[in-house]
Structure 1
Amino acid sequence: MNDFIRSRIPSIASNLGTVFALTVATPLVVSLIAKFTLGGNKAATPYADTYIQNSDTIVVPIPFVTAITPIHKTFTSRAWFAGTAHTEVSTYSQICFYSPKYKRYLAVISFIGGYNVAQMGTGKDAYNVDVENDRLSIIYESKTISAYINKTQWQDPTYGTKDNPMPIFFKRALSGFECAGGMEDFIYIKPSVYKKFVELYLAHGLKPKEFERLYGKDMERLGLNE
């Protein structure tokens, strides 16, 4: 594993006791290509491109780790691999904290379950890790991040409270990793991963009634609910 990851992120976990340990290398059971059917509110997933188009980027300072509350919820989906149906268990992760800059509660949204995978090592020693297992460690080490926000939710007064934090999606670490060569998969989210996270969030993070309240009319306008 990258020496930088060994020396810095695990030290945060051991010293503070609240940051996740780094991923233990395990082979992927199902390839990313074969992973889906999504499950959840599948009717919402066609809206992902529009959700992303109606989004913006903000800069977020990260508070001290004791002010961060991680919340995990598991969900199941069914995937097909080698002609056989497999039930997959994934985790919907929210990393919640209050932002003095924006005067509202925010939640970094991610999904653990092989959706954002990085290869470590080379040759016969190569193995895959799920980057999202380390998201809490990464955002804390980052100190400041850029993140995607959906404008409809950002402007909705019901979002940003402690009980309903504003969902944001990690885009890039803006500090904390200045000397980290070869860390691109950890400090930057690929557009394809961002889109997959949005699809999963719309299917599993938003209740169908809330999705309908926020985006139902737009779905009708775009003809996406037919």
Structure 2
Amino acid sequence: MSNFYSRIPAIGSTLGTVFALTVATPLVVSLIAKFTLGGNKSAVPYAETYIHNSDTIVVPIPFITAITPEDKTFTSRAWFAGTAHTEVSTYSQIFFYSPKYKRYLAVISFIGGYNVTRRGVGKDAWKEDLEKQRLGIIYESKSISAYINKTQWQDPTYGTKDNPMPIFFKRALSGFECAGGVEDYIYIKPSVYKKFVELYLAHGLEPAEFDRLYGTDMRRLGLKD
């Protein structure tokens, strides 16, 4: 009997190791892969500064035929405990020309479980990726509010057909007056906006372009050697 009790700590340690390898580890790696791994990882710490130096604009939405969507997939891979873990996501851009601002704009979005809501109840409940509906929401909106980064907004190289100005959806301002239960679709939470900025800096901007725009500020803030 004494031998049995003396082995309890060892058993507990073994179970803890199994849990870490089979449950905790995949969860941790999944979170890391979604938000930091892949692309230009060194740009991610700048997200809060990018957001702080941003503003909100109101954007009228043109007719459907004037809107062009473009999707690109990217993957992130990490090795942990000898196991490769890969995440596949979609970088979505919704392009159109804005007569109000006399420049091309691109609504930035990411599909891959970054903006989800729970649907249904009980055993029939599921998680819906709201960004899969973002293009439809843009189509239906007469106008939206969106976040813009001031540095890019003031840079003359942004806003052309070849290099549209990136904007981040904030809220649909009209077009849904009679709809019910669509708040999740027509409003982006600040936490989701931050995730999108992190992903955009890592996967939407080329490292050389990021350094041109924000490298000096990164060094000033001590975020880059």
The alignment's TM-score, normalised by the length of structure 2, stands at 0.82
* Corresponding residue number in structure 1 for 2:134: 135
Q: Which moved further from structure 2: 117-126 or 134-143?
A: 117-126
Correspondence list, 1:157-168, <5 A: 157-168=156-167
8 Å Cα contact 1:36/1:77 also seen in 2? no
DSSP 3-state at the match of 1:163: coil
Percent identity between matched residues is: 81
Are residues 1:150 and 2:149 paired? Answer: yes
8 Å Cα contact 1:34/1:81 also seen in 2? no
**Rg bigger for which structure?**
2
8 Å Cα contact 2:29/2:80 also seen in 1? no
Aligned partners of 1:81, 1:140: CA distance in 2, in Å?
A: 42
Aligned partners of 1:189, 1:32: CA distance in 2, in Å?
A: 25
For structure 2, which runs of at least 5 residues remain unmatched after alignment?
1-25
* Corresponding residue number in structure 2 for 1:36: 32
DSSP 3-state at the match of 2:30: coil
Show structure 1 runs of 4+ deviating over 4 A: 30-33, 79-84
* Cα deviation digits, residues 69-111 of structure 1 (max 9, x gap): 1111111013689995321111111000000000000000001
8 Å Cα contact 1:79/1:88 also seen in 2? no
DSSP 3-state at the match of 2:176: coil
* Cα deviation digits, residues 142-167 of structure 1 (max 9, x gap): 21100000000000000000000000
Given residue 48 of structure 2, which amino acid in structure 1 is its aligned partner? Answer: D
| Deviation of 1:112 (Å) | 0.8
Q: Which moved further from structure 2: 158-167 or 173-182?
A: 173-182
DSSP 3-state at the match of 1:58: strand
| Deviation of 1:181 (Å) | 2.8
Aligned partners of 1:33, 1:170: CA distance in 2, in Å?
A: 28
| Deviation of 1:123 (Å) | 2.0
Correspondence list, 1:70-219, <5 A: 70-78=69-77, 84-219=83-218
Choose between structure 1 and 2: higher helix proportion.
2
Correspondence list, 1:3-82, <5 A: 34-37=30-33, 38-78=37-77
Given residue 42 of structure 1, which amino acid in structure 2 is its aligned partner? Answer: K
8 Å Cα contact 2:29/2:78 also seen in 1? no
Aligned pairs, how many? 197
* Corresponding residue number in structure 1 for 2:223: 224
* Cα deviation digits, residues 108-156 of structure 1 (max 9, x gap): 0001111111211222221111111111101111211000000000000
The alignment's TM-score, normalised by the length of structure 1, stands at 0.82
